[in-house]
Amino acid sequence: MTKPFRIGTRASALALWQANWTKAELERKWPGLVVELVPIKTTGDKILNVPLSEVGGKGLFTKEIDEALLNGQVDAAVHSMKDVPFQLPQGIDFGAIPEREDPRDALVSNGRQIDALPPAARIGTSSLRRQVQLKHRFPSMRITNLRGNVDTRLRKLTEGEFDAIVLALAGLRRLGREAVVSQILDEELMLPAIGQGALGITCRDNDAATREQLAVLDHSSTRVAVTAERGLLSALEGSCKVPIAGHAVLENGQIRLKGLVANLAGTLVVRGEVSGDPNMAHQLGITLGKDLISRGADRILAEISQHGTPR
C-alpha cells in the first residue's frame, strides 16, 4: 500500500480550504498520489481572547506545524504566507509558493464605503497593521480588536457590535464570501500585510522527493514578489507586535516594492518604495527596510520594543 503524502494544516475553515486546494492540485498533477490532511492546533488557535500583538512572538500559527514537519509527522505544511515568520526554522524551506490571490483588504459594513461611515464608527480588526492605518486616516474612528474565524467576525458585525470590519479579500474569496464586501480598500489607504493572499507550502529542506512533488505548484512571479516582501520583513525583524505592511509586484521586467511602518497611535507613518532586478528580490526588500529605518522606523521599532503594545 502506497504511503500517503501528509499535509499539516490548521483546522480553521480557511486553512482547510487552502490545504484541500493543495491536496487537489497535487493529486491532479501527480496521478496516483494520495494526499492526507493532518489538522494541527497552533498557539494562535488556542488563545482567542487576547489580541495577537499581546500573545507574543513569531510563529503563533506555525510553530506546532513546523515541529510536526521536522519530526516527520507530516511531509509538508500549508500556511497563509502572512502568518509565516521572516526566518524559517532550520531544516525547513518553501517547497512551493503558488499563484497569489488578490492581496488587498476588504471593508465589510452595512453597504456603506469607509468614507460614508460615521466619524466615530466602530471598526473591528485583529491586525495592528490595519488598526494603525485606519487611525492615521480616520483618527476619530473607534478601532477595536476583533478575533475569531471569518464567520465569527461576520456574525459580530451582523449583531451590531461593529459598524464595519476589515478582512483580507483573499480569504473571503476562497471561502465564497466575497458578496459581503462593501469596498475593496486601495493600497493608498490600506497597504496589505507582507505575503497577504499568498500561500507558503513548506517541507523539510533535505526531502528531495517532496520538493519535486511540490515544485509543480510554484508560481515564479508570486515567489519573487513574496521574497521581496519578506526581505523587507527581515530587515525590520517584524512580528505581529509591529505594524508593518508591504506589497511587491512585477512590472515590465522590474520588481516594485512598497513598504510601511507606523507607530501604534497611527500618528507617525513611514512609507517607502523601491524598484529593481527581480533576481535581487530579497536584497531589494532589505534595501527598502534600511531606508525606512533611516527615516524614522528605527524610533518606532525601539518604542514598541521598549513599551510593548497597549493592553
The residues assigned a catalytic role are: 83
241: left (phi over 0), alpha (psi -120 to 50) or beta: alpha
Joined together, the cell numbers standing for residue 138 give 480616520
d(CA 304, CA 109): 31
Within 10 Å of residue 54's Cβ, how many Cβ atoms? 14
Cα angle: 250, vertex 254, 256; to 5 degrees:
65
CA distance 267 to 274: 24
- Using CA atoms, how far apart are residues 130 and 189, in angstroms rounded to an integer? 10
CB 248 within 8 A of CB 187: no
For 189, how many CA atoms within 13 A lie in the half-sphere containing its CB?
15
